[in-house]
Amino acid sequence: MGSENRAPVTVVGLGSMGSALANAFLEKGHPTTVWNRSPEKAEALVAKGAVSAATVAEAIAASKLVVVCVLDYRAMREIVDSLGDAPAGRVIVNLTSGTPEEARQTAAWAAERGVGYLDGAIMATPPMIGSEHALIFYGGPKAVYDEHASALASIAGAGTYLGEDAGLPSLYDVALLGMMWTTWSGFMHSLALVGSEKVKAESFLPFAQLWFEHVVAPEIPKIAEQVDRGTYPDGGSALGMQAVAVEHLVDATRAQNVDVALPEFLLDRAERAIKQGHAGDGFAAIYEVLRKPQS
């Protein structure tokens, strides 16, 4: 599509992420209107061709497609609630991070007011925005997504529609965030352990990478398959045996005077799974404990 045919877009919220989004729309040739609570943040974008709206109502009026990316849902709702009926007939793509519940409530708010609504979760940092590798999850009415998919491709080549449920992008977002934090925390714990004997992270790194690549990562698809099947074959390393090894991890961590909370958590969940009868199963049986925390 020639840039003269690009759909007009409004971007509300010009923090680090909103500015990157507006910049990507401008670079792909979309006529772009911007608004931010602190108007000076629009200046760099105006220099690149954006139109700075004096009010948020003016910004919403400028384009059918309105992308909102502010700090949290409270800020998002403050902004849109101040507009009365003005957003009716517009499409709001809300890329503000939050919970599935907040996303579903905002989708209901939009449906009551005749506003097309997609909720999105950005799985990228600002410098990645506009690249083919930037991933953004979307949820909401399929017809609304289809109508705006080509404009949205300007901010993320790897935009992925998850379905009609506006809560799913936030759910995937927090699930991946949790995976990232726990994986990194596991690495931090191992660095704290070897660091307690003055081993440099640099010296340990090649073994951590080898371990991750050849032992940890290849198990991920197998675990996923077992969780979907609901059976957890031990693969030669039963949980009962692995729990004893985790006990060593707890003991050694304490002896090295390193924070013991993480391995204690792992041991506790392994012991709960064993109590539920999973001693002869594999590691993935932990899923049964995490999924039903009351037991």
**Among 43, 44, 48, 78, which residue sits at the site for ligand FVH (rule: CB under 6 A)?**
78
Task: At 116, list the tokens.
Answer: 């097309």
User: Is 167 within 8 Å of 102 (Cβ atoms)?
Assistant: no
User: Interacting stretch for ligand FVH, rule CB under 6 A, among 121-129, 153-161, 214-222, 269-277?
Assistant: 121-129
Nearer to ligand FVH, 134 or 246 (CB): 134
136 Cβ neighbours under 8 A, 6+ residues apart: 95, 120, 121, 122, 123, 124, 152, 155, 156, 158, 159, 160
- Nearest-angstrom CA–CA distance, 267 and 251: 11
Size of the site for ligand FVH (CB under 6 A): 22
In 3D space, the residue among 132, 102, 133 whose CA is nearest the CA of residue 119 turns out to be 102
Shortest Cβ 201–ligand FVH spacing (Å): 24
**How many Cβ atoms sit within 10 Å of the Cβ of residue 257?**
9
**Among 11, 17, 66, 129, which residue sits at the site for ligand FVH (rule: CB under 6 A)?**
17
Q: What is the DSSP string of 138-159?
A: EES-HHHHHHHHHHHTTT-TEE
- Measured from each CB, the residue nearest to ligand FVH is 15
Q: For residue 163, what is the enclosing H or E element?
A: strand 158-163
Please give the residues from 248 up to 277 whose contact with ligand FVH meets the rule CB under 6 A.
none
Nearer to ligand FVH, 72 or 225 (CB): 72
Shortest Cβ 156–ligand FVH spacing (Å): 11
Nearer to ligand FVH, 80 or 274 (CB): 80
166 is a site residue for ligand FVH (CB under 6 A): no
Rule CB under 6 A: which residues touch ligand FVH?
13-18, 36-38, 41, 69-72, 75, 78-79, 96-97, 122, 125-126
